[in-house]
């Protein structure tokens, strides 16, 4: 986290996603992120979540449930950030 330095993601889980924002397949640790579902979000037809640092609650981005549709071929792909 840029604000409190709590580990959010591992560079080992980073991949080139479909947008300019960094994409990660998962958090650094189970307690790294606080995630809240957004209803509705623009014209998305998939689940969309707001992602926050779990320690200081700084907003760090969105999570979308469409990784396979956006070209991620990783066997565990489901979410993109």
Question: pLDDT tens, 8-19?
Answer: 999 888 887 777
DSSP run (H or E) holding 48:
strand 48-53
Residue 49 token pair: 């979540």
pLDDT at 68 over 90: no
Q: Which of 24, 30, 14 is nearest to 63 (CA)?
A: 24
pLDDT more than 90, % of the chain: 37
pLDDT at 74: 78
Burial class of residue 4 (count of CB atoms within 10 Å of its CB; 0-12, 13-18, 19+): exposed
């Amino acid at each position: 986290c840029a604000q409190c330095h709590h580990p959010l993601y591992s560079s080992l889980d980073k991949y080139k996603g479909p947008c300019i924002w960094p994409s990660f397949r998962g958090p650094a640790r189970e307690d790294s992120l606080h995630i809240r579902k957004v209803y509705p979000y623009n014209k998305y037809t998939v689940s969309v979540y707001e992602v926050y640092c779990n320690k200081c609650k700084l907003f760090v981005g969105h999570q979308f449930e469409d990784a396979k549709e956006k070209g991620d071929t990783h066997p565990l792909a489901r979410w993109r950030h």
